[in-house]
Chains A and B, each alone.
Chain A
Amino acid sequence: MSVIKSEAVYHEERARYSALVQEIARQRTLLEEKGYAPDEVARVLQPIESRCAELLDEITVYETIKRGDLSVLSNLTIGQALIVMRIAKPLTQIQLAGMLGVDPSQVSRDEANEYRTANLERLTKVANALGLRMHMTPEGATRRSTRPTGALGSRGGFEVIPPAAPTEVSVEFLAPSEDDRRALRQMVGAH
């Protein structure tokens, strides 16, 4: 699991977390009753406690995204950012698929791959459906200022300006408010 993507999974994972906390306590008691020293108990439980902590993080991240708070997320890829944007709108995968005119399995697959196999055209369509504008501007051309469309509650747009090397792309975010711009920049980082 990388990020919880639906309300249904969120509730399942919350239930699993509660049960897991009890399971860890049960294992701890059993190990102590068997006479393991505290440091030995700690080492035995390390793996399951690490995964439990990760599960709690996933739950917390989902809750944060659903509140529309993107400032806690940083250093994501474009694909990861698109997933976050969908959850925050909020849109289900089926709703997004409907907007894109594709089968829901395509959205599910793209998100499972974190859009790693999606080409720029598909990325742009998804971004547009989420209220983000993404387009390419040849280097040296005057950078158009785009009419803000809001970001997240408002929606933001971003402009891609390719540098001299055709394999590199730089991204600039356009959003109506400084808070939105800051949140988007922080979320996506250098990608």
Chain B
Amino acid sequence: MIPQAFGPTGVLLTDVTATLDEIRESMLVTGAGLRASEWHVQQRLELVNNLQIVVEKFKQAGGVAEIYVDGSFVEEKDSPSDIDGYFILTDDRDWISGAFQKRIALLDEPGVWSWDKNDRRRCQSFVEKPPFWCRYRVELYPDLGLPSDIMGPDGRFLPYSEAFRQRTDTMEPKGIIRLQF
């Protein structure tokens, strides 16, 4: 269950499990009870609605065991620009073979679902972003148990499961949301 307030430094203190409806009704969207005076409810609601579209496609593609939502959306930030997250497949070979990517690509407009760096593009962003970010402002990466691009306090590159459980700026531990879908 999503708590009614963030911790003292504006992050979740522990992981929580929630449905998308629960997220919509929680302080993450409504801002109810929070210190922030400019909580952008509409922006956060639109992001959650887009996340729902993405999650439906992931469900339809099949083979997805877990989806986690993290980043500034689950922090006390007035207006996050996107939703970050990672997912775990039932079988990593589904990714390694390319089978999962093919299935999800068929569920959307051509070119949306690509994690290839050469398919990134500018879309009201400072830098080129993945096409699914451009379309949904949602960015999900597969956690294959390998190090990601994010460093921990000891300078080691962390797998997503660890990397997204720390704040980007301070590396302070934080909780994230496990989606119930």
Contacts and interface: CB of A to CB of B under 8 A. Distances in A.
* Chain B binds chain A: yes
Interface in A2-23: 2-3, 16, 19-20, 23
A80 interface: yes
Contact of A54 (B40, B96, B127, B155): B127
A50 B117 contact: yes
B19 interface: no
Majority SS of interface residues in chain B? Answer: loop
Interface stretch (A109-117, A132-140, A159-167): A109-117
Nearest to B168: A1
A47 B142 contact: yes
B125 to A, nearest CB: 7
Contacts of A43: 95-98, 101
B24 interface: no
A66 B122 CA distance: 20
Q: Is the interface of A mostly helix, strand, loop or mixed?
A: helix
B161 to A, nearest CB: 14
Chain A, interface size category, equals 35 or more
Contact of A20 (B120, B124, B142, B149): B149
Nearest to A3: B126
B109 interface: no
Q: How large is the interface on B (under 10, 10 to 19, 20 to 34, 35 or more residues)?
A: 35 or more
A23 B157 contact: yes
Contacts of B90: none
Given A20-B157, A50-B117, A112-B77, A76 B126 contact: yes
Given A58-B126, A113-B77, A46 B117 contact: yes
Interface in B110-134: 115-117, 120, 122-130
A53 B155 CA distance: 20
Contact of A47 (B115, B120, B155): B115
Nearest to A116: B79
Contacts of B122: 74-75
B148 A48 contact: yes
A69 B129 CA distance: 21
Contacts of A23: 147, 149, 157
Given A23-B149, A48-B149, A77-B124, 6 more contacts: A3-B127, A47-B148, A57-B127, A76-B126, A80-B124, A80-B126
Interface of B: 38, 40, 43, 72, 77-79, 81, 95-98, 101, 115-117, 120, 122-130, 141-142, 144, 146-149, 151, 155, 157, 168
22 contacts: A2-B125, A16-B149, A20-B149, A23-B149, A43-B96, A43-B98, A44-B96, A46-B117, A47-B115, A48-B147, A49-B117, A50-B120, A52-B117, A53-B117, A54-B117, A55-B149, A58-B126, A58-B127, A75-B122, A77-B124, A112-B77, A117-B78
Interface of A: 1-3, 16, 19-20, 23, 27, 36, 39-40, 43-44, 46-55, 57-58, 61, 73-77, 80, 109, 112-114, 116-117
